[in-house]
Amino acid sequence: MIASLSKRRLALGALTLVGSLLTSAALAQTGSLAEARQAAEARDQARLETLLNDQQALDQALEQARTDNAEAQTLQQTLAEQQQAQAEQAQTLASRQSEQGDELSSLLSALTRQSDEVRNQLGQQSLLTLGETNLPPRLDGVDILERTQLEEVVDSLAGLSMASGRAERLTLPVADAGGEIETRDIVRLGDFAAFTDTALLRVEEESGAVSERPRTPDEIERVLGDYFHGESRQFAIDPSQGSVLAALTQQPSLWERFQQGGYVGYVVAMLGIIGLLVALAQYLYLWVVSARVRRQRRTLDAPKDDNPLGRVLNRFKEMDKHQTPEALEARLDEAVLAELPRIERGQPMVKLLAAIAPLLGLLGTVSGMIVTFQAITVFGTGDPQLMAGGISQALVTTVLGLVTAVPLLFAQTALSSRSRYLTQVIEGEASATLADHLEAQTAHRGAVVS
């Protein structure tokens, strides 16, 4: 009984000491250490008296202490076993690393380097990543080369090599130019090109999604459908891995180039259209007049008023034939000159527009260069594309002016030649008619005298 009581007092003393320490640590953070110690001693004394008076509570406390001790020993044994297993594994790895030697180490280094180079070069934008072909794994964190890792790298490199020289038909979700995603059939030609029947495709850098290029060159678009449906074996491939294709897609179309001319370009084009319409209308008029004059030359005795030659001949018939030859010639020249305005109509306007168009183009170029130099003043000369793009747009108006002026000059030359021919015909026939009249009149006078 005395031994049991001593054990009980020792256990209670231990519990009291532990509780006192815990309470002291808690109260030391919030209040005075002396007050905390007094409160802990009072509380422990009350608990000790309670446990001494309650045999059942004391037994429960001892049982809980034994349980906690057993759990702690079990956890310690488990940790010791884990430590032993890790030590054995480390020893095994060290022995395997020493066994593989320098040759396997150099092989691992070479595989790591090749794997990194392939992944960095292809990245997520490579067309080879479409479908079931995978990039080789990274081996940067591998210390011991496993057989499975070697097989995975070799199989991946072999698959990429085979895919780079093979044409495949795949079914993948494709985003069109408007952002709509739809599952479509595509054709992949190695790492050179991937396309549908209407557009070339690309792989987005960040997401790896497949989308249509913003613009497919017309030369390539014409052969896409035939090759896609198997109707042709010809296809255009960019050997520069997209550089030439990117340059072609950035090349503006004829309409886009025209829009770069701005308001000056619109004015030049409008003046050119007006000049060409005027020239075309006048040329058609001269063509009709020429046909009527040819008919009139075959029937000079019956002049008609639907052509200049007929009107001149009618004016000559209405003249007083008793006038002097000089007066008749002057009247006839007056009749011919009266027909010239309608024959030469439109030529001065076409000639004026042909002269104005290059000047307006030069005006647009100067204005564009001013804007370009202002941009250089703000952003500097660090971006050559900014300067080249601004100068290119400024020169568009000059090109439009020259393109407008050249056809107008040809049209003005054609009109001038046609009108000059008609004038010469009318003048020649009028002079011949006057000469015939004067000859007839002289012969008549000679007959009367004789």
Q: Please list, in sequence order, all residues whose beta carbon lies within 8 angstroms of the beta carbon of residue 197, skipping any fewer than 6 positions away.
A: 224, 225, 228, 229
**Strand-strand pairing, 181-189 and 210-212:** unpaired
Judged by DSSP in three states, 135 sits in: coil
SS3 assignment, position 235: coil
In whole angstroms, give the CA distance from residue 392 to residue 79.
76
| pLDDT in the model for residue 242 | 60
pTM: 0.53
Find the DSSP H helices in 54-146.
55-122
Q: What string of DSSP letters covers 192-205?
A: TEEE-SS-BEEE-T
Q: What's the distance, Cα to Cα, between the start and end of the chain in Å?
A: 195
**DSSP state for residue 332 in the 8-state scheme:** H
* E strand or H helix at 256: helix 254-259
Write phi, then psi, for 240 (nearest 5 degrees). Answer: -90, 15
- The pLDDT value recorded for residue 287 is 92
Task: Specify the pLDDT at position 280.
Answer: 94
Q: Which parts of the chain sit beneath pLDDT 70?
A: 1-33, 51-55, 57-58, 93-105, 120-125, 131-134, 140-147, 205-208, 218, 237-253, 320-322, 381-390, 441, 443-450
Report the alpha-carbon distance of residue 92 to residue 338 in Å, rounded. Answer: 118
Q: How far apart are CA 347 and CA 357, in angstroms?
A: 16
pLDDT of amino acid 98: 61
